[in-house]
Amino acid sequence: MAVPEIIPIAHEPDYRTSTIGRFSDGQFLASITYAFPDGFTMGDGWEEHKRLFVVLHKFDHGGHHQESDIWCAGTWAEQMKHPLDEDSVVARAEARLTANLAALAEREYCNIAIRPFRLTVDGVLFGLVTECHDDDGDGEDDWAELYPDGLGFTSPWNGEYDT
């Protein structure tokens, strides 16, 4: 089944889509996620390349991408040096996400429905990108992947995702 123009994403409290919903200006999708730059090959020093991002995507009421706030809190290497510090990479990320969400007027956590979009920041792909998972690659797009979070959406297009 082809990818619909507007893709539903189900709100799941206490899980990967716990910070999505609506606000006065439209819809939002927020997360904290580790990512490597596109094309990165694992090897020595990988810890310096694995970065923790705080992501806030905003959409209008019709699901069109409006803007994104994408901020790097630091690397895996930094986090491992001071994992329990109040100023650790993870603590900084959580504080930034909390502040970003608090700034959304009339915020409500709930299901959303957005259109595919993509952007690259610091060499990392962000967005909801449609893809074809046919073995021969000749078919139509049948999948939408949220990057870099690794959430996949497909038929029956009910907002549930695969990881």
User: Could you read off the pLDDT of 66-118 as tens digits, one per residue?
Assistant: 999 999 999 888 888 887 788 899 999 999 999 999 999 999 999 999 999 99
Contact in structure between 141 and 123 (CB atoms under 8 Å): no
Token pair 């999505």 is found at 20
- In the chain the first and final C-alpha atoms are separated, in Å, by 19
| 3-class DSSP state of 122 | coil
Q: pLDDT at residue 8 above 60?
A: yes
- The single-letter code of the amino acid at 28 is F
| Alpha-carbon dihedral sign for residues 50, 35, 15, 156 | negative
Quote the pTM value. 0.91
User: Could you read off the pLDDT of 30-80 as tens digits, one per residue?
Assistant: 999 999 888 888 888 898 889 999 999 999 999 999 999 999 999 888 888
